[in-house]
Amino acid sequence: MESTDTTTGTSPQAPTGAPASIAVVGAGPGGLLCALVLQRHGIDCTVYDADLSADSRDAGGTLDLHTDTGQIALADAGLLDAFLAVARVDDQAKRHMDQHGTVHGVFEPEPGDSAAPEIDRGQLRALIAAHVDPARVRWGHKLTGADPLGAGRHRLTFANGATAEADLVIGADGVRSRVRRLVSPATPEYSGVAFLDVRYDDADRRHPALARLLGRGHLFARGDDGNAIIVQRNSNGMIRGYVALRTEADWAARAGIGEDDVAALRAFLLERFSGWSAELLPFLTDSDGYVRREISFLPTPLTWPHTPGATLLGDAAHAMGPFGGHGVNLALLDAAELARALAEEPTVEAAVRRYEPAMQSRAAAYAGPSNQATRGFFGVGGAPDDGMPDHAAEHRRYRRNAADYLRDRAVSGVWDVTFRSPDGARTAELALTVAHDGVSGMLDGRPLAHGSRDGAEIRFTAEVSSPSPTTLTCVMTVDGDTAEGTARHALGSTAFTGTRRPAA
């Protein structure tokens, strides 16, 4: 058996006072990006993944990385320029049609629109992996067990016989996460929709009619019964996508289709899609491969009590429907925020307590609409929704959200505030976290209440004990790394100024 693998370095302190060891389970984009941002902060961690390498398996189709989530995370990792150099801006285009081939809506991105450019999943994983210290990644390590040892420490067991111990286990291991059971009993639920991954290699030469029909970007074709064909341009001349079925999870077994029985599968699809336009049917029959995939959601909102030594990111924490493309974007932002918290907070526990509430709140805001849109598109529980999303409005929202997020982050952090009164000046430490759902934090170790933000203005109340016990109602206006404001209390009001400490 391989010896126990622990990591040490400049990580936040473990409960014993020694540098904490951090294990990331899952080397998808989220897990790798978490490791990379930690690496940039000089914090050691070890990443474990069942794959033999970053490119040992087909990673799947294309992803759109949003400017308000995934791109912010890539910027934190120092990879935004590298991403934009290979991203496909033109492939943001989308067309929606019915089963007869009638086009009902078209979206073309404006010149220079980089709100949600496309990149292949494999390209994204390889891009991030190339910048992570290879010594940090243990390929060929399939997690089979994660067991508490006490005081927040856990032992990990792998199928190859290796074991490892860590003060923090980060579950980045997807919808079927094994780490999740450390913090929550939640399990994914089948959505009522099954996908078949399909692909068309060297499409312009080998599948020219399908390539012409698709054009650039994405094509969504949906029937009245909720079945659909969704295909997308990928790099290297490939088209990839999904044949989608509103059906039972065990549809293939019910139809008597064996795992490798391609002929029976194609016959089933032609029957299921009977009445569709003849020009669309080759998407069913001409694929160079088929991979079955059931779409499952985790309950939302999903929260859990703080569990010392364990947390989650990405699909392990908030698996949701694919509509909106938020899954990988949130995984990347989760990873960057968790890594920053570990770099900036004095202990692992403080970092996780800072990270989880904001992550869970943000995920809930996306998961509900995404799941509803997925069910609505396919008509799970009713007729399919009419109309096509307003993709131009989506892009405007991504840009607006990005500006709001970066402004909130510029305010968040630790501030040294000085209250001035006739009795003299008093300095206090104000720890602020500003997010889409409000303002939280501490003033000299006491929690803030009634926090809110309106533009550059921050409002909150706080209890203080010095020079005498009282409640302060504060209004603070931020300008970069400086602030000024007024604190009202029982005896009047006091002016204060603040300076934001540099991030660690």
Mean pLDDT of the 70-93 span: 96
Mean pLDDT of the 139-147 span: 98
Report the pLDDT value the prediction gives residue 468, as an integer from 0 to 100: 77
CA distance 184 to 113: 40
Among candidates 119, 124, 116, 120, which has minimal Cα distance to 30? 124
Higher pLDDT: 199 or 4? It is: 199
Answer yes or no: is pLDDT of 477 > 70.
yes
- Look up tokens 């508490």; give the residue: 148
Read off the pLDDT of residues 341-367 as tens digits, 9 standing for 90 and up.
999 889 999 999 999 999 999 999 999
Mean pLDDT of the 60-75 span: 95
- Look up tokens 């938020």; give the residue: 326
CA distance 409 to 204: 45
Tally Cβ neighbours within 10 Å of residue 195. 18
Report the pLDDT value the prediction gives residue 1, as an integer from 0 to 100: 32
Q: What is the DSSP string of 189-253?
A: EEEEEEEEEEEETTHHHHSHHHHHHH-SSEEEEE-TTS-EEEEEE-STT-EEEEEEEES-TTHHH
176 contacts: CB under 8 Å, gap ≥ 6: 188
Report the pLDDT value the prediction gives residue 504, as an integer from 0 to 100: 57
User: pLDDT grade, residue 7 (50/70/90)?
Assistant: very low
Higher pLDDT: 345 or 66? It is: 66
CA distance 144 to 159: 6
Answer yes or no: is pLDDT of 476 > 80.
yes
Report the pLDDT value the prediction gives residue 3, as an integer from 0 to 100: 38
User: pLDDT grade, residue 503 (50/70/90)?
Assistant: low
Answer yes or no: is pLDDT of 56 > 80.
yes
Answer yes or no: is pLDDT of 484 > 60.
yes
139 contacts: CB under 8 Å, gap ≥ 6: 27, 49, 51, 52, 53, 54, 56
Q: Residue 25 carries which DSSP code? A: E
Q: Name the β-bridge partners of 379.
A: none
CB 69 within 8 A of CB 363: no
Mean pLDDT of the 134-156 span: 97
Return the percent helix, strand and coil in the chain, to nearest 5: 30, 35, 40
Report the pLDDT value the prediction gives residue 481, as an integer from 0 to 100: 87
User: pLDDT grade, residue 267 (50/70/90)?
Assistant: very high
Cα dihedral across residues 380, 382, 387, 390: positive or negative: negative
CB 223 within 8 A of CB 266: no
Of the listed ranges 11-25, 93-107, 194-208, the least confidently predicted one is 11-25
Cα dihedral across residues 178, 183, 184, 189: positive or negative: negative
Report the pLDDT value the prediction gives residue 4, as an integer from 0 to 100: 46
CB 496 within 8 A of CB 486: yes
User: pLDDT grade, residue 466 (50/70/90)?
Assistant: confident
CB 336 within 8 A of CB 76: yes
Among candidates 434, 442, 429, 417, which has minimal Cα distance to 494? 417
Report the pLDDT value the prediction gives residue 385, as an integer from 0 to 100: 79
Scored b (16 or more CB within 10 A) or e, 259-290 reads: eeeeeebbebbeebbeebeeebbebbeebeeb
Cα dihedral across residues 367, 370, 374, 376: positive or negative: positive
* Average pLDDT over all residues of the chain: 92
Helices (H) and strands (E) in the chain, counts: 13, 26
Answer yes or no: is pLDDT of 381 > 70.
yes
Answer yes or no: is pLDDT of 449 > 70.
yes
User: pLDDT grade, residue 10 (50/70/90)?
Assistant: low
Mean pLDDT of the 238-267 span: 95
User: pLDDT grade, residue 17 (50/70/90)?
Assistant: low
Read off the pLDDT of residues 393-434 as tens digits, 9 standing for 90 and up.
999 999 999 998 888 888 888 899 999 877 788 899 998 888
Hey, is 435 helix, strand or coil?
Answer: strand
Share of the chain above pLDDT 70, in %: 96
Read off the pLDDT of residues 308-330 as tens digits, 9 standing for 90 and up.
999 999 999 999 999 889 999 99
* Prediction pTM value: 0.89
